[in-house]
Structure 1
Amino acid sequence: MKSNIAIIGSGISSLAASCYLAQAGYCVTIYEKNSSIGGRARQLTKEGFTFDIGPTWYWMPDVFERFFSDFGKSPSDYYTLDKLNPAYSVYFGKNDFISIENSLDKIAATFEKEEPGTSKKLKKFIKKAQSNYDIAIKDLVYNPGVSPLELITPATITRLNLFFKTIKRDIRQEFKNKRLAKILEFPVLFLGAKPSETPSFYSFMNYADFGLGTFHPQKGMYQVILALERLAKSLGVKIETNSDVEEIIVDAGTVKGLKINGKAQGSNIVVSGADYHHTETLLKQSYRQYSENYWRKKTFAPSALLFYVGFDKKLKHVNHHTLFFDVDFDTHAKAIYDHPKWPDAPLFYASFPSITDSYAAPEGKEAGIFLIPIAPGLTDSDELRATYFNKVLDRFERLTDQKVKEHILFKESFCVTDFIKDYNSYKGNAYGLANTLTQTAFLRPKLKSKKVKNLFFTGQLTVPGPGVPPALISGKLVADLVKKHNRLES
């Protein structure tokens, strides 16, 4: 008889893990503390507007295809994808922006127009990035981070130097135009670290950007969550919301179940997709693998100040995804990683899904999401949120040459205290542990507890790292470990 498995949290990695484990015949129940599923990928609806609270970028469609194909399905069985054109735009000044279109040839032409001679360099750079992508996404990231030998393959042996050089160095050597360099450095920000701290091998993110493109699921990213829910339930997974896990019950070093809303619930195996640090606080001190000092020394990806805004008119001079790089990135990065503080002049990102998707806003209106990356652990207050909302909107109006403040119907915000309250997020981080050299693969927190038998972890603080596609992969990796562990035990 297969074991009962309890999964903490209903984010993407938890939902993915539940599907694989249920497919293998386990009795799986997900316990979610909030009233709705999805973790950081939840949805906000208000006055006819719909916002994705967390992830808004759909990259690496092949990872989604690979996941659903494991169950004889396809993403198209659940939602419809639109390839965005332009994928996004990047503002550098007033009415001064570069748009990234939906094919490498078009992007190369844009680079050539910006600086003659760069189109050939770009295609050469992306060809190398594609080679890294083929190695990383089709092979390396599907390893469980158990041993450094996972990184040693015939393909990686010839690329070991790419783990010791940085993306920023590679890009700045080839592309002297600072605007183009900033665009090429942008994709690795999804990995949570500065380009100057990110290994060259991660250039595969540039292929994900320029080679594969940017997509949007009709009705929003939450459709991915609903797809995972449908698949999980079809496989027999039970999902319990409003179920706050207060303790992981351990006896003689072995998991026995969970304490949920004050009541004990027995389980043979526990998989936590909740914040890794928080999960270990649900254990007695002697059963924790990582000390508070361990977590303090780690390089975390940023937190974020987010605004969800309903406008009473359509906006001009913006695209579905729009980046604002009109201020110095290095100065903002220092305020995140080196000397944590609220940035004086932050870069920011804005998403207007209603440009692409009528589902996001009532006719003639616009849904806007504004995101400012900030250091985790900062003081968060209503006054600071108001100050930064005005800073962002003032710049937005000037750069896009339009008045929008008087057209705001409402705004909601989400920041450090919300990440802590809703997700038990360590220091209110938004994206997990950064993928720096010393926090890659086997150097990340482990999927399997070293101190508690039958306790496993998944999600952005473990392997392979932050992002939606890695979350899907993390769910598969932990499910494979559980199955392997049970085979050895039986």
Structure 2
Amino acid sequence: MKKNIAIIGSGFSSLAGACYLAQSGHAVTIYEKNSTVGGRARQLKKEGFTFDIGPTWYWMPDVFERFFKDFDKKTSDYYELIKLSPAYQVYFGINDFVLIADNLSEIKNTFEKIETGSGEKLEAFINEAKNNYDIAIKDLVYRPGISPLELITFETAKKINQFFSNISKDVRSRFKNKRLVQILEFPVLFLGAKPSNTPSFYSFMNYADFGLGTFHPKNGMYSVILAMESLAKELGVQIKTNSNVEKIEVDNGKACALIVNGNIINTDVVLSGADYHHSETLLDQKHRAYSEKYWDKKTFAPSSLLFYVGFDKKIENVEHHSLFFDVDFDVHAQDIYDKPKWPDEPLFYASFPSKTDENSAPKGKEAGIFLIPLAPGLNDTPELREQYFEKIISRLEKLTQQEVRKNIIFKESFCVNDFIKEYNSYKGNAYGMANTLLQTAFLRPKLKSNKVKDLYFTGQLTVPGPGVPPSLISGKLVAQLIEKYS
């Protein structure tokens, strides 16, 4: 039966959910509080430069293809994909870095040169990671997180120990060189927790990295948002920007309307792709499934301090994606997860999309995106932002042996306060809720409200978890639940 479905927010999961629901014949309207679609994956354009404000890594291309294939489309119908070669580089000291190639054979050689015997160990590790990837990404993550039985299959039963060990222990039992350990622990940071708190089964992220490679959609990650927006509109979805949802109305235990910009919008089903915690604050207290105490106890993925910088020259000795691991990883991790504070010596990541994409910056110039992972909920001031920009730009100059500070045309920043203001993000988190053992699958906040009929949620705080590919999957899962229960 055709229903009117109102969706809050227009990020990856909301757009995905909207596409599936419209395909099933429902009348779908998206309400986005900001002036453009995309949620956290928006764009900044300034003085001929273009920056992705949010995600900059395109991993798991098969998940994107699977999404578009569900609508008899291909990614290439909407955007051009460029495989990065090298995938990225990791700095450990002055002019001291490791390049990660775009294929496993070369990566094995790189490992072997650093630690004798590690090449073969890496191949075995990635083979196991591929097996986990085939189980997880092709099957498990497409389950709605309703029951613990979803995790019990013939394949997962054989890997039960991997759910009770962790990535850090697994990697360190095979590789002794600190650099190799850090490179192999890096991909699970996308899951929002320390490697020592991330189950070994999540090594499938290493296969996503070394096995499948790193890509760049021409014109940036926002091309994917525009593709999904285009698909949604083709399917009949209405998208209303500058539409702030102020309340979810409930009548007789059923979600029945939204209050948008002061107006009552009646609807049959409400789906929120906005921050889960914020979405529940749109309900009267008695209709909320999770208390403030519940949210406060959860392990959230980091927030970030981001800078978008226009340079008047090309930056040397850096790749499209460059990681700066020249300081102690464990100390920075403690400052995020154990005793939250601004880190004294932060690791940071830099993206220079204009290395690959001429549309990112005017000719002869460079677009730079810098990210420092931070604990959510920290005090965020202009003075602190400036202090940390000085820290990382000084390190960049020292490590890459060049002056760049005097070549800055402009810089914009984005941090905890902005995540809260722009996305109603709980404590200003950037990536949602971490995928720890006790926050996996059925242990995450539910896609379907257990307090209010016809109220659903999607996105990185629910199933399957943080990241862009999981968000696409989350939209599909919630659409299936709506079809089943509403």
Q: CA deviation at 1:8?
A: 0.1
Letter in 2 for 1:136: A
Q: CA deviation at 1:17?
A: 0.2
Q: CA deviation at 1:116?
A: 1.5
* 1:150 counterpart residue number: 150
Please tell me whether residue 64 in structure 1 is matched to residue 64 in structure 2: yes
Output one character per residue of 1:391-417: Cα deviation in whole Å (capped at 9) or x when no partner.
Answer: 000001000000000000000000000
Once residues 160 and 441 of structure 1 are traced to their aligned partners in structure 2, the CA distance between those partners, rounded to angstroms, is 15
* Two-structure CA RMSD over aligned residues (Å): 0.4
Output one character per residue of 1:419-467: Cα deviation in whole Å (capped at 9) or x when no partner.
Answer: 0000000000000000000000000000000000000000000000000
Q: CA deviation at 1:115?
A: 1.3
Please tell me whether residue 187 in structure 1 is matched to residue 187 in structure 2: yes
Q: CA deviation at 1:383?
A: 0.3
* 2:423 counterpart residue number: 423
Once residues 401 and 356 of structure 1 are traced to their aligned partners in structure 2, the CA distance between those partners, rounded to angstroms, is 22
Please tell me whether residue 53 in structure 1 is matched to residue 53 in structure 2: yes
- 1:269-348 equivalent positions in 2, closer than 5 A: 269-348=269-348
* 2:261 counterpart residue number: 261
Letter in 2 for 1:234: E
* 2:446 counterpart residue number: 446
Once residues 341 and 479 of structure 1 are traced to their aligned partners in structure 2, the CA distance between those partners, rounded to angstroms, is 39
Output one character per residue of 1:280-338: Cα deviation in whole Å (capped at 9) or x when no partner.
Answer: 00000000000000000000000000000000000100000000000001100111001
* 2:136 counterpart residue number: 136
* Matched position secondary structure for 2:40: helix
- 1:66-465 equivalent positions in 2, closer than 5 A: 66-465=66-465
Once residues 219 and 427 of structure 1 are traced to their aligned partners in structure 2, the CA distance between those partners, rounded to angstroms, is 31
Output one character per residue of 1:30-54: Cα deviation in whole Å (capped at 9) or x when no partner.
Answer: 0000000100000000000000000
Once residues 260 and 27 of structure 2 are traced to their aligned partners in structure 1, the CA distance between those partners, rounded to angstroms, is 18
Once residues 123 and 11 of structure 1 are traced to their aligned partners in structure 2, the CA distance between those partners, rounded to angstroms, is 36
Q: CA deviation at 1:172?
A: 0.3
Letter in 2 for 1:74: K
Once residues 379 and 93 of structure 1 are traced to their aligned partners in structure 2, the CA distance between those partners, rounded to angstroms, is 30
Once residues 409 and 168 of structure 2 are traced to their aligned partners in structure 1, the CA distance between those partners, rounded to angstroms, is 41
Letter in 2 for 1:437: L
Once residues 246 and 402 of structure 1 are traced to their aligned partners in structure 2, the CA distance between those partners, rounded to angstroms, is 50
Letter in 2 for 1:104: L
Once residues 181 and 85 of structure 1 are traced to their aligned partners in structure 2, the CA distance between those partners, rounded to angstroms, is 22
Q: CA deviation at 1:114?
A: 1.1
Once residues 66 and 257 of structure 1 are traced to their aligned partners in structure 2, the CA distance between those partners, rounded to angstroms, is 33
Q: CA deviation at 1:117?
A: 1.0
Letter in 2 for 1:361: A
Q: CA deviation at 1:62?
A: 0.3
Q: CA deviation at 1:347?
A: 0.2
* Matched position secondary structure for 1:40: coil
Letter in 2 for 1:215: F
* 2:483 counterpart residue number: 483
Q: CA deviation at 1:252?
A: 1.2
* Matched position secondary structure for 2:433: coil
Q: CA deviation at 1:240?
A: 0.2
> After the TM superposition, which segments of 4 or more aligned residues of structure 1 sit over 2 Å from their partners?
none
**Identity percentage over the alignment?**
72
Q: CA deviation at 1:483?
A: 0.3
Once residues 337 and 169 of structure 1 are traced to their aligned partners in structure 2, the CA distance between those partners, rounded to angstroms, is 18
Letter in 1 for 2:394: D
Once residues 279 and 123 of structure 2 are traced to their aligned partners in structure 1, the CA distance between those partners, rounded to angstroms, is 44
Once residues 439 and 115 of structure 1 are traced to their aligned partners in structure 2, the CA distance between those partners, rounded to angstroms, is 35
Letter in 2 for 1:292: E
* Matched position secondary structure for 1:39: coil
Once residues 91 and 247 of structure 2 are traced to their aligned partners in structure 1, the CA distance between those partners, rounded to angstroms, is 48
Q: CA deviation at 1:193?
A: 0.2
Once residues 77 and 453 of structure 1 are traced to their aligned partners in structure 2, the CA distance between those partners, rounded to angstroms, is 38
Q: CA deviation at 1:346?
A: 0.2
* Matched position secondary structure for 1:453: coil
Q: CA deviation at 1:382?
A: 0.3
* 2:12 counterpart residue number: 12
Once residues 257 and 165 of structure 2 are traced to their aligned partners in structure 1, the CA distance between those partners, rounded to angstroms, is 45
Letter in 2 for 1:303: S
Letter in 2 for 1:103: N
Once residues 484 and 64 of structure 1 are traced to their aligned partners in structure 2, the CA distance between those partners, rounded to angstroms, is 24
Letter in 1 for 2:162: L
* Matched position secondary structure for 2:432: coil
Normalising by structure 1, what TM-score? 0.99
Once residues 483 and 161 of structure 1 are traced to their aligned partners in structure 2, the CA distance between those partners, rounded to angstroms, is 36
* Matched position secondary structure for 1:476: helix
Q: CA deviation at 1:166?
A: 0.3
**Which sections of structure 2, spanning at least 5 residues, go unmatched?**
none
Once residues 403 and 132 of structure 1 are traced to their aligned partners in structure 2, the CA distance between those partners, rounded to angstroms, is 44
